[in-house]
């Protein structure tokens, strides 16, 4: 984990202080995690995976959230659904309302029902099944008064209308152009209502312009940090949980008043996911 000393980055000056907001997260332990098929460029089925190591990394991530004062709920993993650990794809939750998932690939289709059942059993009064393909917070990011919706590889652009109808928020659609960054949460991370970090090369010109118009402060991430899924990160407004391998990005965040908290998600990266993929925020 990155040091929490007053200044672990000598020579960098903090530009402002940030404020953390307590969050509620849903996670799914990787008890059945394996890479048995390839539906994104990160997955190599003939590369061995270590389930025990994945469980240790996942448990460490969960403990980091608890140590930061956040609430973590868990959903029981289902045998035969190795990617269910990537809870962010289970739906989008805003104001206690839920738009469930509809997966692009048949290998993940069974996850949609498992998450819908959990939402229904957990007291969410309004839970809807999407008409369009919608892979939850993998492609939908909450930015205060706006939803950012990625499309091009997994989710359909048409889901924007469903999001607006259910949540009553405007939606900014962003086309993804690099298959390595197949979900929006691999190419963009909302840090607070006015600040985000992103990998410009993952978006077209219109997407880059839309992000520049939406955020007062945009942090551009370098190739080496994007390529370890450094943007697959979780922010509470002050602390940013991100891959420990994204060292340059951690320094950029610290300089802007955020507290980077590094976690090793290298085993789950074999499935194409990191901290954010494993984390679905339950916004009440």
Please state, in angstroms and rounded to a whole number, the distance separating the CA atoms of residues 24 and 192.
Answer: 16
Query: Which listed residue (28, 134, 239, 277) is catalytic?
Result: 277
Smallest CA-to-CA distance from 248 within 264, 276, 228 is with 228
Smallest CA-to-CA distance from 277 within 196, 202, 163, 182 is with 182
Q: How does 127-155 read in b/e, with b if 16+ C-beta sit within 10 Å? A: beebebbbbbbbbbbbbeebbbbbbbbbb
87: phi > 0 → left, psi -120 to 50 → alpha, else beta; which? alpha
- Is 277 one of the annotated active-site residues of the chain? yes
| Residue where the block lists tokens 């309302």 | 97
Query: Which listed residue (70, 183, 239, 278) is catalytic?
Result: 183
The catalytic residue positions are 183, 277
């Amino acid at each position: 984990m990155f040091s929490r000393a007053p200044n672990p980055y000598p020579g960098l000056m903090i530009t402002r202080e940030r404020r953390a907001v307590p969050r509620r997260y849903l996670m799914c332990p990787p008890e059945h995690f394996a890479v048995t098929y390839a539906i994104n460029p990160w997955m190599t089925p003939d590369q061995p995976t270590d389930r025990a190591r994945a469980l240790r990394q996942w448990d460490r991530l969960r403990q980091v959230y608890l140590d930061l004062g956040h609430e973590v709920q868990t959903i029981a993993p289902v045998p035969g659904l190795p990617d269910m650990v990537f809870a962010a794809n289970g739906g989008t939750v805003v104001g206690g309302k839920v738009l469930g998932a509809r997966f692009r690939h048949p290998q993940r289709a069974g996850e949609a029902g498992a998450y819908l059942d959990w939402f229904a059993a957990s007291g969410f009064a309004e839970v809807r099944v999407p008409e369009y393909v919608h892979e939850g917070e993998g492609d939908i990011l909450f930015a205060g008064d706006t939803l950012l919706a990625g499309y091009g590889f997994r989710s359909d652009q048409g889901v924007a209308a469903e999001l607006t109808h259910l949540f009553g928020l405007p939606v900014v659609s962003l086309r993804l152009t690099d298959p390595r960054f197949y979900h929006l949460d691999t190419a963009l991370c909302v840090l607070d209502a006015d600040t985000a970090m992103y990998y410009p090369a993952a978006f077209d010109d219109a997407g880059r312009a839309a992000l520049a118009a939406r955020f007062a402060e945009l942090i551009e991430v370098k190739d080496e940090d994007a390529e370890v899924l450094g943007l697959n990160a979780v922010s509470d407004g002050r602390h940013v949980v991100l891959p420990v391998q994204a060292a340059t990005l951690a320094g950029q965040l610290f300089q802007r008043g955020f507290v980077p908290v590094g976690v090793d998600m290298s085993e789950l990266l074999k499935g194409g996911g990191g901290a954010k993929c494993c984390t679905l925020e339950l916004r009440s």
